[in-house]
Structure 1
Amino acid sequence: MKTLLGSVLVATLLLAGCARDVGEQFVGKWVNVKSEKHVLSIEHNGESFIIRDTQPELFGNGVKTRNHPALLTKGVLQVSNGVGPVNYAIDEATGKLSTGDTEYTRVK
């Protein structure tokens, strides 16, 4: 009985550890390839993620940060912006984060 309980405990801990690794490839800072002032910071947010999108204001000298909740769906981070979903995927060939229109490079 103790062996069974020990095995269940070990399996539970392993699964809990693996759950945190899901989507880990997105976590970190990413810089827009066309504008170094446009930065994404992607963080775990409980069961989901949060994308902190910092970019220069259109008019003025400041920067503005917008926080977007994101879910990992079929290997891509998905943000709902009211118009439709925006997908963030990592291009396996280049390692860049892409929305289709915009690309970001990971900051090391």
Structure 2
Amino acid sequence: MIDNFAFIKTDKKLIKLRFDEILIIKGLGNYVEILTVENKKHIYYKSLKELIDNLPNEFMRVHNSYIVNLINIDSFEDNHIVLKGTKISVSKSYRECLNAAINKFLL
């Protein structure tokens, strides 16, 4: 996928969402809540499992309920990552994979 955006249907309209503007995607059963860097929230009818397959590589699942955009991570310490002031727990099952992904960006 070379596109840097996608359209999602929310509030009975299609909106364009740039991937680099997405901070966190939170699972809400059959829906997801997409939080952007501008602190906007969009509710979208799709499960996290379905969505992760259609997202670019910079997106990673870090918890059963969360997908984050790696390029927007400010810090990673112990079991938490911080994205623009929002703290997200990282579950044990995803921690090793997240460490490997972040290590690619180390200087």
TM-score, structure 1 as length reference: 0.24
Larger radius of gyration between Structure 1 and Structure 2: 1
After TM superposition, the score normalised by the length of structure 2 is: 0.24
